[in-house]
Structure 1
C-alpha cells in the first residue's frame, strides 16, 4: 500500500514518554505545513473546503494556530528554524498595501480568534517576532491588533482573546486602553459557576471549551499577568478544583470523552494538563497530571487523524466532515497544538521531573452536578450519563449534546439523513417517529436534575409528547428509564454503543426479542429491554457517522408506543471483547422501581447547573 492511514499520523510510532518525545511530536506535526505557506508567508491554505468566514481569515487560521505549540517550544529554549516565516508573515499580513493582507476587522470576526495566538507569542517571544521587525512593520502590527481589540468579541471564551492580545501589546511597550481588558476579565468571571466549573457564555452547554479554553487561557493569564494577584490566585484555585472533576472525562488509556462541539481540535482536549503545569498548579499530584498528559497524546498517536501528507484532517478519529462545524476550516485542527504548552517549562520542572503515574480510577460512579453528568470508568473507557445540555445553533447539535450517554472508547455518532428513520444510528439515544420516515430525538430539556448518582430529565420530542428519562449507573451497564406520554401511536428506536465493524461481515450479531448484541474481535456491545417488550436488532450504520471509527455496528431495541402512558426500561453496555464482557452480558441489571425514582427526586433532586440559563433560540 502506498498510503497507510495510521502511519500518516505524524505522531505514529512516537513513544511519547519524555519531554524530548513531546518536542519531536510537535516538530513532526508542524513539518508537513511548510509547503503550504504562501510566498509572503502570511497565509497557510491547506485545502479548498470552506468555513463560514472568508478565505483570508481561514488562511490566517492556518498561519496562526501552530503558534500555540511553536511558541512554548521556543520559550523553553529550543531552536526553531522558521521564525523568519512568522516575522515575514506578521509584517505582510498586517500591511494593508501587501497582497497577503489579512483584511480589516470591523466587527466580531474570526480574525479575533487567531490574533490571540499572536498576542501570546508577542508576550513570550518578543525577541524573535517583534524586536527584529522594521519600524513600519511594528507600527502596522500594533495598529492591526489595537484596531481589532476595540470591537465586541463573542460573549463566551472569545473574551480571553482580547486579554491575550493585550498581554502581548503590553510586553512590546505598545500603549492601549487597558480598561477594555479589565472589562472582559470581569465579564469572564460572570461565567463561573462553582467547584471549578464555568459555562462558555450564558448558554445551556458545558463542554470541552471549559478545559481547553476557559481554564487554558485563565492559566496562561495566571502565569503571565503582571500584578492582578487576587485574580491570578482565583484562577489557580478554580483550576485545582476543576482538575479533580475533569479527570473523569478521560479514560485510563488517555482517551477523552467524545462530547460537544469542536472535537476536531483533538488533543487540545488534553491542554488542561499542560496548562496546569505551565501555571505551576499541582491540582493533582504531578505524576498523575503528567500521566494524563502523556497518555492522551499516545492515544491520539494510534489513530488515522491525518491525511496522506501528514496534514491534520477535519474530523475526530479519522477524516470526517459530517461531524464538523461551520467554523471549521482546514487550519482549524491545529488548535490541537495547544497541548504542547508545557514545552515552555524547563526539563527540571516538577511536571517533567515527575515519574508518570497511572490514573488510579475505580469503578465507582462520579456525579458531576454542574454539567449534569454521572461518570464511571470501565476498561479502556469512560462512560458519562448526561442530562441538561443542549445546542440548537449548529449541525448535529442534538447528537453532540443531548444524547443519554457518551463515551471515550466508542464515541458517538451523528445522523446523516433526517428522512431515513429506519437507518438512524441513535447510539446512546431514544428516537421516535410518527410516520416511519422522519424522527425526533431529545434536543432540549424542560427540566434536568441530579440526585446522588442518578439523573432525571423531562423533554418533548413534539409539543404534545412528553418523555421523562432517568439515567442510572450500574457499572459496566447503565440503566435508562423512560415514561412516555403521547396522544397518538408512535414508533421508538433506542440504541446502545457503536463498535467498529469488520469487513466481510465477520462480526457476530444477535437479534432477538428483548435484546440486540454486536460482538467483534475487539468489542462487545449490548442493549437489553428490561421493561417494554421491544425487538432487538443490530444496525449496520451508514459509513462515517461515528466519530471514532468509520464503519460501525449499533445494537438497538425497537417497538411501537401506544397512545397513553408507556414505561420503557433499558440497560446498555459495551466492553472490550473477552471473559469480562461475556460475564457482564449474562448478568444485566434489574429494572428499578419507578415510584422509588419519583420519590428520590422529590426528596433530593437539585437542578443541573447547565440548564439554569434561559433557553435561547
Structure 2
C-alpha cells in the first residue's frame, strides 16, 4: 500500500544522486556474462527469450553508465568505461557466443540499439573513439539494418530509428534522410493539445509521453549532427515540453509517487526523466529547482520502498516484485529502463541546476484542479492528504469507435498516486473498480472502451469531464502478447451510457444516464469506487453507503439518489500494492432513461472530516440540465452538465 505522506528529508545533493546511480549500476553489473556483453539479473526468463534478456540488461544499464561517464567528464569512472567497452567489443563480434541479438533477428533489438547509439554518441571521447577500427565497423554493421526498415510501429519507437540513424550518419555509416524525415513527421502527427503526445494513433496517454516522446527529442538534439537534421523544430519541441511539464509536476503525490496508470510501470522512476529533460532544454515556465525536486521525489519514493531490492536489483514490480505488472514479454533486464530517471547524473558538478534552490511540489503548497483536454483528464490534487487523482473520460489505449475490452491500465474512470488498478485476469474480463457497468444475471459486466469524450473543463471550483459509450459485454480472446490494450473477443452491445464526472477536492459526483438498453433482461447498473490494496483492507456497507479503509486511506461510494445499495467486493493477488484489495460498489436496477448519481471519494490522513451529508439535485432550464450539489465540506455548487450525443454504432 501507499501512504500519501509528504517527504520530509532534506534535498539530495549531487553526491546523493551519484551514490544511488552507482548502487543501481553495481547491482546490475554483478550479473554480467563472462565477456560482459550480456547482463541478466536474476528472475524468470522473459517472453522474448534469454538472448534478448541479456541484451536488454546491457543496453539499459549502459544508459546509466553513459550518464555517469558524461557527468564525470570521463574522470574517475575508468571501471565503467572499461567494463562497457569490453562488452561492446564482444557484443558486436559475430563469432562470439555471447554476441548480441541482431536487429534483423528480433525486433526488440531495435529498441536496445537506440540506447547503444545514444550513449556511444554521448561518451564518444571515452568509448567510441577508443574502439579499434574493426570493432567500430562491427558496431556500424550491427546498427545498419535500421535503415529502410518499415516495420517499426507508429509509436515512440520512431525515436529508436531516428537516434540510431543519426549516430550512423555521424560515423560514416549508412543512413536515410527520408527515414528521419518520415519519423519526425510521425512524431508531429502524434502531438495533441497543451504539449501532450499520444503514444501511437490510439488514445494512449501515459508515462511514455514523458519518458520517451518528450525525452528523446531533447537527447537527440545533443547528438552530433542532429541540429543539421532538426531544422526549426527544436524550439517547437521545447515549447511543447514546457507546456507538458506544467501539467506533469502536478501529477506527483506528496510522497513522491507518480500516477499509477498506463503500461510499463515496472520502469518505475523513469517517470522522473521528463523533468531532467526540461532542465536540459531550459524550459521557461517551470523552474529548475522545481523540476529537480520532482525528479528527486520520484526516485526517493522508490528508495523509501526498498528499490532496488536487498540484492541491489530492480525487480519486475512497483515497490516489491510483482510480475503481473510487467508486460508478457518483459524479462529481468527490462526494469532498467528506469535509469532514464537518473539522467541528471549526466549534468556535471558545475551545471547550474545543482545550485538552484529546491522548490516544493505543487501538491505541497495548494490544492490543484486542472484539465488535460487531449487525454480527457481532470487532475485533482489535495494538499491536506498529498494525493493526486485523475478522472478519465478520454484515454483507453483503443481506437475510436472500435469495441474491445477495457484495459485496466487505461480505461478506468479514476487513477491516483495512492491506489492502483486491479490487474489480475478477472480485471481484464470484468471491469470493477472505477467503472460504470451494466451487469447481467450471471455477473458479466460491460466495458466502455471506444467511449466518446464529450467535454473536459473547469467550471468555477468544479472540474467537469464527460463521455458516452456503447456499453458492451466481451467474450474475451486471450493472446500471448499484450502491449497495454484491452482484450479482443466477441462483442455484445448491452446499451448506451453517458457519465458526467463533477470533481472537487477528494470527491467526484458521478452522474450516470442510461440512454438506451438493448435487452429486455433485467440488468444491474453498477458503480465502482477506488480499490484499496494492502495486507488487510477492511470494508462495510450500510444502505447506500459502502466504505473501505486501509491505514490512513478511505475509499467510499455513497448513493445520491434513491434505490441504490452498497456492497464491498474483495479480490486477492490482484494489485501490485498488496495481497488483498477491497472495492466499494453501488448497485441499482438499470432502467432506460434513468439518471443515477453517486459520490465517489478517496481521502487520506489530513483530510478534514465531512461536516455535511452530500446532496444532489438535477434541475432543467433553458434546454440544459444543471447539477446542484452540496459537498461534504458544506460548499454548494451549481454546474451545467454536458449533454450526451448519441453517436452512430461503433465497429465490433
Instruction: Flag whether TM exceeds 0.5 (same fold).
Output: yes
SS at match of 1:459: strand
Aligned to 2:505: 475
Instruction: Between 326-335 and 598-607, report the one with greater CA deviation.
Output: 598-607
1:209 positional shift: 0.9
Q: Could you say which residue in structure 1 is the equivalent of 2:328?
A: 326
Alignment partner of 2:202: what SS? coil
Contact 2:289 2:357 in 1 (8 A): yes
For residue 558 of structure 2, give the secondary structure of its aligned residue in structure 1.
strand
- Structure 1: give runs of 5+ residues left out of the alignment: 7-11
Instruction: Give the Cα separation in 2 of the matches to 1:262 and 1:502.
Output: 24
Q: How does 1:200-349 map to 2 (within 5 A)?
A: 200-224=199-223, 225-227=226-228, 228-349=230-351
SS at match of 2:93: coil
- For residues 278 and 69 of structure 1, do their structure 2 counterparts lie closer, same or farther at Cα, with a shift above 3 Å needed? farther
| Partner secondary structure for residue 465 of structure 2 | strand
Map 1:200-599 → 2, pairs under 5 A: 200-224=199-223, 225-227=226-228, 228-361=230-363, 362-378=366-382, 379-391=385-397, 398-417=407-426, 426-452=432-458, 453-462=463-472, 463-484=493-514, 485-486=516-517, 487=519, 488-503=521-536, 509-543=539-573, 545-559=574-588, 561-577=589-605, 580-581=607-608, 583-584=609-610, 586-587=611-612, 589-591=614-616, 593=618, 595=620, 599=625
How far has the Cα of 1:359 moved from its partner?
2.0
1:97-117 CA-partner distances (Å, limit 9, x unpaired): 211222332387111111111
User: Secondary structure of the residue that 1:82 maps to in structure 2?
Assistant: helix
The 3-state SS of whatever aligns with 1:346 is: coil
Residue 142 of structure 2 corresponds to residue 144 of structure 1: yes
Whole-Å separation in 1 of the counterparts to 2:242 and 2:524 = 47
Asked if the contact 1:322–1:416 (Cα under 8 Å) also holds between the matched residues in 2, the reply is no
Pairwise CA RMSD:
3.3
Cα distance in 1, alignment partners of residues 195 and 138 from structure 2 = 39
TM-score by length of structure 1 reads: 0.88
CA shift in 2, pair 1:340/1:481, >3 Å: same
Among residues 105, 122, 125, which one is paired with 1:124 in the alignment? 122
Deviation of the 1:44 alpha carbon: 1.7
**Within 1, Cα distance between the matches of 2:193 and 2:370?**
17
Secondary structure of the corresponding residue to residue 375 of structure 2: coil
Determine helix, strand or coil for the equivalent of 2:551: coil
Matched residue, 2:93? 95
Q: CA deviation at 1:67?
A: 2.2
CA distance in 2, matches of 1:383, 1:276: 23
Q: 1:257, 1:408 within 8 Å by CA — same for their partners in 2? A: yes
Helix, strand or coil: the match of 1:226? Answer: helix
Q: Answer whether contact 1:256 1:408 (CA < 8 A) is retained.
A: yes
- 1:164 corresponds in structure 2 to 163
The correspondence for 2:108, drawn from 107, 110, 121, is 110
Equivalent position of 2:636 in the other structure? none
Residues 1:79 and 2:66 aligned together: no
3-state DSSP class of the match of 1:65? Answer: helix
Larger helix share, 1 or 2? 1
Q: Which deviates more from structure 2 when the two are superposed, residues 407-416 or residues 138-147?
A: 407-416
Deviations 1:455-493 (A, max 9, x none): 111122321311111111021211111112323312344
For the 8 Å contact 1:460–1:467, the answer to whether it is kept is yes
1:385 and 1:551 mapped to 2: Cα distance? 24
Matches of 1:120 and 1:14 in 2, distance apart? 34
Kept in 1: contact 2:533–2:575 (CA 8 A): no
CA distance 1:516–1:109, shift in 2 (3 Å) = same
Task: Please give the secondary structure, in 1, of the residue aligned with 2:456.
Answer: strand
Question: Contact conserved, 1:196 with 1:239, CA < 8 A, in 2?
Answer: yes
CA contact (8 A) 1:446 1:460 kept: no
Q: CA offset at residue 441 of structure 1?
A: 3.2
Secondary structure of the 1:43 match is coil
Q: 1:595 to 1:416 in 2, by over 3 A?
A: farther
| Number of residue pairs the alignment of both structures matches | 593
Unpaired stretches in structure 2, ≥5 consecutive residues? 473-492, 628-638
For 1:37-86, what per-residue CA distance to the aligned partner results, in whole angstroms no more than 9, with x for missing partners? 11121112224534443432222111101122221111111533132232
Counterpart contact for 1:419–1:439, Cα < 8 Å? no
Q: Is the 8 A contact 2:526 2:586 kept in 1?
A: yes
1:172-195 CA distance string (max 9 Å, x none): 444533342233222212212232
Distance 1:588 1:55, change over 3 A: farther
Report deviation, 1:229: 4.6
